[in-house]
């Protein structure tokens, strides 16, 4: 075979191999989706979203689970984002390059790869036992906050680093202080990137099961956390933070392990809801990034 | 004299970029700094508004007196130095904000937020930068939608808005086409009535066109510093002559 023919064929074969590899991933995803949809779509409905779990599969629902998920997500965000973003700003803008910052950087990069169950054990020891928060929403949110913090820090740093130095120079040259430059120019310009990272980190947190089971989230919850709005003075309550809770993935996990066939459909319907939340969050991240790219070209 | 520069040497870590340079710069004149790539001319101009302070391990020896005050003295406010000595960079670098906000930023950081004042200053500086007519009906559009030449004039307007006394230009036309370059050059000539202008340029014709005084740098040293006309017609140093006649560089 002469060289030309060989090159032509090797190119063609490689193309087909690449296409197959891509299709395998896609096919698995489509198969999963179809399977879940065919199992669960029938159960999805208003009743499913507004009912507590029950021992009768037809009457069971995910009310306590999705409310718990919303609580946990909001609190995780509230705890992880300010600390994570400020840490990123410090490391990127203020931190001097020395062995200490190097050590911290390596640590954070490693933390992002630690299995989530380890965070669960940390949460159990630190929040549930040592701080005596018990199996409460706040303990769960604090655990997840620690879990997503490295991801938030790393993506925020990435976004800050992407802001060209010419923007900083322009600001300094007008007589801006370091604080003004960071606050007025660097952070707003980096905001879409930071937001994208945050949403991706949160969409990871929304599906976490292991750490919450480890700290003892309940699997059968037939009540909601105390509402944050109360009818009496001072019209809000933080009692809900200390209530026990469950979240969607735990509810799904519980149903999957039940022997009755009906709970299988419940689990599939729960998965559909969880998938929709994740897709919506990822979609939002993609949209923000896309809109940003169209608007700004450095 | 606006600037009196006395035996200035500049270092990045162990590497010396500017070697023992002394010169004086007249107020309300255009001074051009020319020389081959890597000769230290950009480093030199960035010493004049302490832009190099942003570079870790940067070190300066000697004195730079501006109106008699050493701008590197410890008790001087660096932001005040930069406000009074503005700068326009090689690549147009507008903020990713509106045209209006770009021009107004220098005032905003001084705590000025009264709309009337800002409107007036924005209009005045855009007029001085010969950009007003082109953007007056879209002041709140993104500055990034402007062409490269317009962006550079916006950067000039932004520098003018803080009412500096000196404007430093660091190769302001190297990213622009000939027409945009001509506009910026006209602007520089007009600006010298009110401002002290110092311009670093690669382009010798540009230096000859716009400047009153020219300094020729090579390997970090100031080889010759004289009236522009004399530098380009009868340089006293052999190196200067070789450079302007295109024998190297």
A253-278: pLDDT as tens digits: 888 888 888 888 899 999 999 999 88
Mean pLDDT over A30-45 rounds to 89
Reported confidence tier of residue B91, pLDDT bands at 50, 70, 90? very high
Whether pLDDT at A16 is above 90: yes
Q: Which CATH number characterizes residue A271's domain?
A: 1.10.3720.10
Pair of tokens at residue A144: 């997840």
Pair of tokens at residue A193: 């990137």
Which A residues, 188 through 247, put their C-beta within 8 Å of a C-beta on chain B? 188-189
Nearest to A289 by CA among A198, A196, A197, A200: A196
Query: Same structural domain for residues A30 and A87?
Result: no
Q: Is A173 within 8 Å of chain B by CB?
A: yes
Query: Same structural domain for residues A63 and A163?
Result: yes
Mean pLDDT over A245-256 rounds to 87
Reported confidence tier of residue A133, pLDDT bands at 50, 70, 90? confident
- Residue A16: give the domain boundaries: 1-40
Whether pLDDT at A1 is above 70: no
Average pLDDT, chain A: 87
Whether pLDDT at A101 is above 90: no
Whether pLDDT at B5 is above 60: yes
Report the gap between the CA of A204 and the closest CA in chain B (Å): 31
d(CA B103, CA A181): 15
Reported confidence tier of residue A293, pLDDT bands at 50, 70, 90? low
Instruction: Please tell me the number of Cα atoms within 13 Å of A250 on its side-chain side.
Output: 27
- CB-nearest to B51 from A169, A177, A296 is A169
Query: Same structural domain for residues A99 and A150?
Result: yes
pLDDT value for B249: 57
Q: Which residues of B touch A188 (CB under 8 A)?
A: 96-97
**Strand B3-12 to strand B15-25: parallel, antiparallel, or no bridges (unpaired)?**
antiparallel
Query: Same structural domain for residues A197 and A86?
Result: yes
pLDDT value for B56: 86
Q: Is B203 within 8 Å of chain A by CB?
A: no
For the entire predicted model, the pTM comes to 0.81
Query: Same structural domain for residues A116 and A203?
Result: yes
Query: Same structural domain for residues A52 and A116?
Result: yes
Mean pLDDT over A30-55 rounds to 87
User: Maximum distance among all alpha carbons in chain A?
Assistant: 88
Report the gap between the CA of B106 and the closest CA in chain A (Å): 6
Query: Same structural domain for residues A14 and A135?
Result: no
For chain A, the domain total comes to 2
Radius of gyration for the alpha carbons in chain A, expressed in angstroms and rounded = 24
Tens-digit pLDDT profile for residues B195-217: 999 999 988 999 999 999 999 99
Query: Same structural domain for residues A7 and A144?
Result: no
Reported confidence tier of residue A231, pLDDT bands at 50, 70, 90? low
pLDDT value for A45: 84
Q: Which residues of B touch A164 (CB under 8 A)?
A: 93
Query: Same structural domain for residues A89 and A116?
Result: yes
Reported confidence tier of residue B247, pLDDT bands at 50, 70, 90? confident
Query: Same structural domain for residues A19 and A104?
Result: no
Nearest to B196 by CA among B209, B213, B217, B216: B213
Mean pLDDT over A162-186 rounds to 94
Residue of A nearest to B79 (CA): A175
pLDDT value for B201: 93
d(CA A202, CA B184): 49
Choice among A199-203, B12-16, B86-90 with the minimum mean pLDDT: A199-203
Query: Same structural domain for residues A91 and A226?
Result: yes
d(CA A108, CA B62): 43
Residues contacting B197, CB < 8 A, separation 6+: B29, B30, B31, B166, B167, B169, B188, B191
d(CA B48, CA B166): 10
Mean pLDDT over A122-142 rounds to 88
Helix (H) or strand (E) holding B31: strand B30-34
Q: Identify the DSSP state of A234.
A: T
Query: Same structural domain for residues A131 and A269?
Result: yes
Choice among A227-241, B70-84, B110-124 with the minimum mean pLDDT: A227-241
């Amino acid at each position: 075979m002469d060289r030309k023919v060989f090159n032509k064929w090797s190119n063609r074969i490689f193309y087909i191999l690449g296409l197959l590899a891509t299709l395998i991933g896609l096919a698995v995803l489509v198969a999963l989706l179809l399977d879940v949809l065919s199992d669960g779509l029938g159960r999805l409905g208003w009743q499913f979203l507004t009912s507590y779990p029950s021992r009768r599969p037809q009457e069971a629902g995910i009310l306590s689970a999705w409310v718990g998920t919303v609580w946990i997500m909001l609190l995780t965000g509230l705890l992880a984002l300010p600390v994570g973003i400020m840490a990123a700003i410090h490391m990127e803008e203020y931190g001097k390059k020395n062995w200490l910052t190097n050590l911290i950087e390596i640590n954070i990069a490693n933390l992002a790869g630690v299995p989530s169950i380890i965070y669960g054990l940390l949460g159990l020891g630190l929040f549930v036992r040592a701080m005596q928060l018990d199996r409460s929403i706040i303990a769960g949110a604090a655990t997840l906050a620690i879990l997503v913090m490295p991801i938030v820090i790393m993506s925020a740093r990435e976004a800050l680093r992407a802001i060209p130095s010419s923007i900083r120079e322009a600001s300094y040259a007008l007589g801006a202080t370091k604080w003004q430059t960071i606050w007025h120019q660097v952070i707003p310009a980096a905001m879409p990137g930071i937001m994208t990272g945050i949403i991706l980190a949160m969409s990871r947190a929304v599906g976490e099961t292991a750490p919450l089971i480890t700290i003892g989230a309940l699997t059968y919850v037939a009540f909601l956390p105390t509402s944050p709005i109360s009818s009496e003075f001072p019209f809000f309550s933080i009692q809900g933070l200390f209530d026990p809770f469950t979240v969607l993935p735990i509810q799904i996990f519980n149903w999957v392990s039940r022997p009755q066939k009906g709970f299988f459909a419940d689990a599939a319907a729960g998965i559909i809801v969880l998938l929709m939340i994740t897709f919506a969050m990822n979609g939002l991240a993609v949209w923000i990034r896309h809109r940003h790219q169209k608007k700004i070209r450095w | 004299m606006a600037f009196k520069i006395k035996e200035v040497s500049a270092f990045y870590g162990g590497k010396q970029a500017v070697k023992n340079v002394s010169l004086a710069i007249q107020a309300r004149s255009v001074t051009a700094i020319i020389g081959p790539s890597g000769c230290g001319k950009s480093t030199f101009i960035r010493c004049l508004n302490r832009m190099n302070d942003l570079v870790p391990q940067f070190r300066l020896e000697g004195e730079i007196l501006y109106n008699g005050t050493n701008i590197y003295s410890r008790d001087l406010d660096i932001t005040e130095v930069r406000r009074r000595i503005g700068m326009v960079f090689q690549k147009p670098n507008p903020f990713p904000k509106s045209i209006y906000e770009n021009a107004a930023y220098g005032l905003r950081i001084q705590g000025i937020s009264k709309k009337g004042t800002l409107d007036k200053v924005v209009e005045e500086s855009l007029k001085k930068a010969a950009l007003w007519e082109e953007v007056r009906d879209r002041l709140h559009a993104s500055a990034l939608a402007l062409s490269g030449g317009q962006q550079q004039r916006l950067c000039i307007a932004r520098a003018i808005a803080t009412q500096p006394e000196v404007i430093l230009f660091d190769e302001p036309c190297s990213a622009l086409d000939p027409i945009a370059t001509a506009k910026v050059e006209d602007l520089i000539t007009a600006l010298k009535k009110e401002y002290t202008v110092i311009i670093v340029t690669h382009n010798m014709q540009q230096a000859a066109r716009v400047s009153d005084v020219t300094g020729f740098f090579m390997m970090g040293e100031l080889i010759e510093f004289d009236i522009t006309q004399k530098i380009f017609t009868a340089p006293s140093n052999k190196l200067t002559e070789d450079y302007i006649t295109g024998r190297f560089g």
